Amino acid sequence: MSEKSFKVRNVSISVADTVDEAKTNFANSLEHQAKVSITARNQFLIGVSGGSLIKTLAEEILPKLRTDFNKWKIFFCDERMVPFDHPESTYGLYKEKLLGKFPGLTEETFVPVNISLSVEEAAKDYESKLRSYFPHEYKDPLPAGQAHFPRFDCLLLGLGPDGHTCSLFPGHPLMKEKTLWVAPIKDSPKPPPERVTLTFPVLHKARNIILFLTGEGKADIIKRIIVDCEKLPGFFINTTEPNCDVIWHLDAAAGSKIPRQKNFMESLEPELKEWEDRTPVFQADSKDIAY
């Protein structure tokens, strides 16, 4: 299996020759993360995105995994504020495609957003649900201006053509959100307009982030983020805390505009460093208790 892979700091990018190879790479990464988490903490707390990931996970990735789904808890990186039987409901689509297909993966595996509330209330309600799964018993209070964030074992993120991820869109005020775990958005440029979304501080706290992107259609935005280092939401995914691994699994078509020479990833380093120097808000609090 020939593929190109590059790594700088905690960001690795693998470009497989074919979609099938990229799927195998994605499945291997996900199986590994689940194994590490379940071995260490007897649970696997994962956040999933909507869009094309749903079908890929259900039909191509989860069937490949050797894992105990009884230990999984599936949260939503974002959710559209529509009824669960609406064709645009992320949870509704996951339920339809996953329930009854994988032993141990039941309705109780999911932690859905309460879409019967207003979008503002749904964000607050989801954050309080998260706090019950990610309790913090801290010895000392945090310094003023710092907040605690949940540490997901894994977040599966998508990437839109404008560089958005979750429901964090370029130029949107939510790009600057530094304290909420879950935020409401009422003007999503990607319909439907009303959603709740995890915020950047939560993404940056995860133990690892995996992206699976294939096809020519993703090549331009990947180039803008990985090569041109445009400060789009997808770029901020790379600037996580040091103890978070970011893994981009691409096929040749999606990675077709990434230079093949080895040293291009080193060019990413100064950009990552410069952004973090300017925005140290996501520093891990040393008293954080590891899960």
Ligand X SMILES: O=C(O)[C@H](O)[C@@H](O)[C@H](O)[C@H](O)COP(=O)(O)O
Q: What is the DSSP string of 55-109?
A: HHIIIIIGGG----GGGEEEEESEEESS-TTSTT-HHHHHHHHHTTTSTT--GGG
The stretch among 44-52, 130-138, 179-187, 274-282 that binds ligand X (CB under 6 A) is 44-52
Nearer to ligand X, 10 or 90 (CB): 90
Please give the residue whose beta carbon sits closest to ligand X in the complex.
Answer: 158
Q: Which of 189, 169, 188, 195 is nearest to 115 (CA)?
A: 195
Question: Binding pattern to ligand X, positions 171-190, x when CB under 6 A?
Answer: -------------------x
Q: Which residues of 93-106 are buried (b: 16+ CB within 10 A; e: fewer)?
A: bbbeebeeebeebe
Q: Does 123 bind ligand X (CB under 6 A)?
A: no
51 near ligand X, rule: CB under 6 A: yes
Residue owning tokens 């839109």: 160
Segment contacting ligand X (CB under 6 A): 104-112, 121-129, 158-166, 277-285? 158-166
Which lies closer to ligand X via its Cβ, residue 159 or residue 253?
A: 159
Residues 77-96 that bind ligand X (CB under 6 A): 77-78, 90
Q: Which helix (H) or strand (E) holds 157?
A: strand 154-157
Choose the binding region for ligand X from 32-40, 46-54, 146-154, 258-266 (rule: CB under 6 A).
Answer: 46-54
**Cα 188 to Cα 194: distance, rounded to the nearest angstrom:** 6
State which of positions 188-247 bind ligand X (CB under 6 A). Answer: 190
| Of 13, 164, 163, 12, the residue nearest 77 (C-alpha) | 164
Question: How many whole angstroms separate alpha carbon 106 and alpha carbon 72?
Answer: 10
One-letter amino acid for residue 85 of the chain: D
Single residue of 28, 43, 52, 243 touching ligand X by CB under 6 A: 52
Residue number, 148 or 224, with CB nearest to ligand X: 224
Please, what is the minimum distance in Å from the beta carbon of residue 74 to ligand X? 14
- Which residues of this protein are in contact with ligand X, per CB under 6 A? 49-53, 77-78, 90, 158-160, 164-166, 190
